[in-house]
Chains A and B, each alone.
Chain A
Amino acid sequence: MRARASAAFGLAVPAIATAACSGPQSALDPHGVEAQAVATLFWWMTLAGALIWCAVIGALVYAGRRRRRVFSARAAGRIVLWAGAVTPSVLLLILLGYGLALMPDLRPASALTANDRLHVEVVGEQFWWRVIYHRPDGPPVVSANEVRLPVGTRVAFSLKSADVIHAFWIPQLGGKMDMIPGRTNRFSLQATRAGTFRGPCTEFCGPSHALMAFAAVAMDEEAFAGWLEREAGPAVRTEGPGLDAFLANGCGACHTIRGTPADGTIGPDLTHLGARKTLAAGALPNTEAAIARFVAAPEAVKPGARMPAFGMLPEREIAAIAAYLAGLE
Chain B
Amino acid sequence: MRLVPKEIESLWTLFTGPVVWAAHFLVCYVGGAVYCARREWLGFGFEWVRIGVGAATAVALALIVAAAWLSWRQWGFGTEDPPHDAATAHDRRSFQGFATLLLSGLSFVAVVYTALPVLMIAECNP
A residues contacting B by CB (< 8 A) are 73-74, 77, 85, 89, 92-93, 96-97, 100-101, 103-104, 107-109, 112-113, 186
Contact = CB atoms under 8 A, between A and B. Distances in A.
A109 B124 contact: yes
Given A93-B116, A97-B116, 15 more contacts: A73-B81, A92-B113, A93-B112, A100-B117, A100-B120, A101-B120, A103-B117, A103-B120, A104-B123, A107-B125, A109-B124, A109-B125, A112-B125, A112-B126, A186-B126
Interface string B105-120: 1000100110011011
Contacts of A113: 126
Interface of B: 81, 105, 109, 112-113, 116-117, 119-126
Contact of A96 (B81, B116, B126): B116
12 contacts: A74-B81, A89-B109, A92-B113, A93-B112, A93-B113, A93-B116, A97-B116, A100-B117, A100-B121, A103-B117, A103-B120, A104-B123
A250 B122 CA distance: 53
B116 A109 contact: no
Given A92-B113, A96-B116, A100-B116, A109 B123 contact: yes
Contacts of B125: 107-109, 112
A108 B125 CA distance: 8
Name, among B112, B113, B124, B125, the residue most crowded by chain A CB atoms within 10 Å (CB to CB).
B125
A100 B126 contact: no
